[in-house]
Structures are given as structure tokens and as C-alpha cells.
Amino acid sequence: MSETAQLISIAVGLVGLLGAAWRWGRPKWREFRKDVISVRDTLIGRDPIIDTVTKAVLTEKRPSIGELQAETDRKVEYAIGKLHVIEHEVMNNDGSSLKDSVHRIEGRLASGDDRFERIEGQMDEVLTGSTERLDRFEDILRTLAEGQNLVWPAIKAAVESTPADPATPGS
């Protein structure tokens, strides 16, 4: 094989390797790059992304892991403080404020029972009133039906007794 043929085959092989790297390596590189950016944004945070034309916020600011940890610590300290207050009320005050709360809740439940009984009474009144109204409506319908039996034959007889003259309408 001549030197020229060897150079051409080496060049074709290198172009093939570059093509393969472009075809299969480029998507892997993009995926790796996205992962690196995600890790960086998680660790050190990210400013909000703002559209340059409309000035609309496309994505909100992402806090860093330190800011998230500080916020979590603050919430945990707040919860621990509340637990200490509750513990102090129960242990040191013989639970007097806790007992007051229990009595207050029991009173609200008792008033809720009274309200429930009042609502039941109102429902009974509504249902009783509804049946009375239905009875009155049935009486009205019965009266109308009886009146119709008296009026309808008279109307029918009047219509049948007057001959209609199509030649002189309205006269």
C-alpha cells in the first residue's frame, strides 16, 4: 500500500471517529453538562431568569443549599420553642392552662350539641310545613279540577253552538 493510500485511510478513520463522537458523544456531553448545572444551582443557588424583552420572570430564584438549611433550622428552632412552651404549661403549671383549654373545648362541643338539636327542630318544622303546603296544594288542584268539570262543558257547548263563519272573520 502506498503512502497516499495510508494517509487517506487514516484521514477517513479519523473523520469516522469524529463523526461517531459527534453522533453518540454529544448527547452524553449535553446530559452531563445539564447535570453539572443542576448540581451547581442546587449548591450555590441561582438568580431568577428574566425575559429581556417582556421583563417577565421565567423561573424564580433558587436558594442555595445553605439558605435552605438555614430556613429549615429556623423552622425547627421555632417548633422546639413551641414544644418547650407546651411542656412548661403542662409540667410547671399543673396543666391549668391545658385544663382550661379542655374545658373550653368541652363547652364548645356542648354548644355544638345544642346547635345540632336546634337544627334538627328547624328541619322538622320545615318538613312539617312542607307536608302542610303539599296538602293545601292538593286541595287547590282538586278544587280546580272540580271547577274545570263544571266550566269545561259550558265552554265546549258555547264553542259548538256558535258556528264559525270563515267568510267574515272577526264580525
- Each residue of 78-109: pLDDT tens digit? 988 888 887 777 666 655 666 777 777 777 77
Model confidence over 56-67: pLDDT tens digits?
A: 999 888 888 888
Vertex 164 angle, CA 161 and 165, to 5°? 135
What is the reported pTM?
A: 0.38
Q: Would the pLDDT of 167 be above 60?
A: no
| Mean pLDDT, rounded, for 11-17 | 94
> How many Å apart are CA 4 and CA 12, to the nearest integer?
12
Interatomic CA distance for residues 113 and 103, integer angstroms: 15
Backbone φ and ψ for 59, nearest 5 degrees, come out as -135, 145
Residue 166 dihedral angles phi and psi, to the nearest 5°: -70, -20
Contacts (Cβ under 8 Å, ≥6 apart) of 65: 42, 43, 45
Predicted local confidence at residue 16, as pLDDT: 93
Does residue 10 register a pLDDT over 80? Answer: yes
Q: What is the DSSP string of 49-73?
A: EE-TTT--EEEPPBPPHHHHHHHHH
